[in-house]
Structure 1
Amino acid sequence: MKSKLIVTFVLLTTCLAAFSQEKHQASVAEKGLLKVVVMYPYAEGKTFNMEYYETKHMPMVAGFLGANLVKYTIEKGLASGMPNQPLPFMAIGTFYIKSLSEYQAAIGPHRDAIRADFANYTNISPVILVSEVVK
């Protein structure tokens, strides 16, 4: 019985150490990258088609970015951080990129097509933030 506890403890400790190291490596790998965060604010009467956004819009935009794109993420808003408060954002799309100037050069020629595609999934005007990952 005691040996089973020791083996379980060793396995658990090994798994936790591996998870911690993986999390640290991911954090270090993202440090210095730039993020283009596209946020879709919640408002009464606004709509958002997550399936279209996930399967059509974001892959289209990601395709324009080429090797400058490290990864992208899509988030679906669920609730506010405060009880009984409205949802702040219906969705957030984030592009992790290496160079802002390369991003702008890649997006520029496709800006009209990207904006025209909004009508296929939302009636919300997005808020865009460009930032740098510091940790």
Structure 2
Amino acid sequence: MKSGFLALLLSIMVLNMSCQLKTTVGSTKNKKGMTKVTILYPNAEGKTFDMDYYADKHMPMVAELLGNALNTYAIDKGLAGRTPDDVIPYLAIGYLYFDNLDSYQNAFAPHVAQITGDIPNYTNIQPVVQISEVLQ
């Protein structure tokens, strides 16, 4: 039973890694002290998310608008919850990496209307945003 659970967990991890879409804007690696902006799109009944639009249009637009302030970004596509039978808690998660909080705020502020105005083009979900400091 224990080995079956471990095999299942390993399979989920491999699937999750294979479905992660990552685009590097610059060559900077994520390092301690950087600011990470996480954009979560919670799953719920009746919610929709166009991953192709998000990955091919929205995030590249955001990267272009944020310019050199943005070090890199990544996109996760939700596959499952804690177990394969659990509903996925988030349909998608986006990540934006900056050198520091000021860099993010100065780059984002002039473009907030354009960036948030594009959200209805790919989802009917109100995103949840968390700004964090990278520790490792």
Q: Classify the TM-score, shorter chain.
A: 0.7 to 0.9
CA RMSD of aligned residues (A): 1.5
Counterpart of 1:105?
106
Offset from partner CA, 1:92-115 (integer Å, 9 cap, x none) = 000011121121121112111111
Name the CA shift for 1:38/1:29 in 2 (closer, same or farther; >3 Å): closer
Q: TM-score, normalised by structure 2?
A: 0.74
Structure-2 separation of matches of 1:130 and 1:74? 16
Structure-1 separation of matches of 2:44 and 2:120? 17
Offset from partner CA, 1:16-51 (integer Å, 9 cap, x none) = xxxxxxxxxxxx852221100000000011000000
- The SS at the match of 2:79 is coil
Which structure has greater helix proportion? 1
Aligned 1:115-126 pairs, distance under 5 A = 115-126=116-127
Name the CA shift for 1:83/1:29 in 2 (closer, same or farther; >3 Å): closer
Structure index of larger Rg: 1
Aligned 1:1-135 pairs, distance under 5 A = 29-135=30-136
Unaligned runs of 5+ in 1: 1-27
Counterpart of 1:112, as a letter, is A
Preserved contact between residue 68 and residue 99 of structure 1 (Cα < 8 Å): no
Name the CA shift for 1:29/1:36 in 2 (closer, same or farther; >3 Å): closer
After superposing on structure 2, the runs of 4+ consecutive aligned residues of structure 1 that deviate more than 6 Å are none
Offset from partner CA, 1:53-104 (integer Å, 9 cap, x none) = 0011001111122222111001100000135322100000000111211211
Q: TM-score, normalised by structure 1?
A: 0.74
Moved more, 56-65 or 45-54: 56-65
Aligned-pair identity (%): 51
Structure-1 separation of matches of 2:33 and 2:100? 10
Counterpart of 2:82, as a letter, is G
Preserved contact between residue 33 and residue 100 of structure 2 (Cα < 8 Å): no
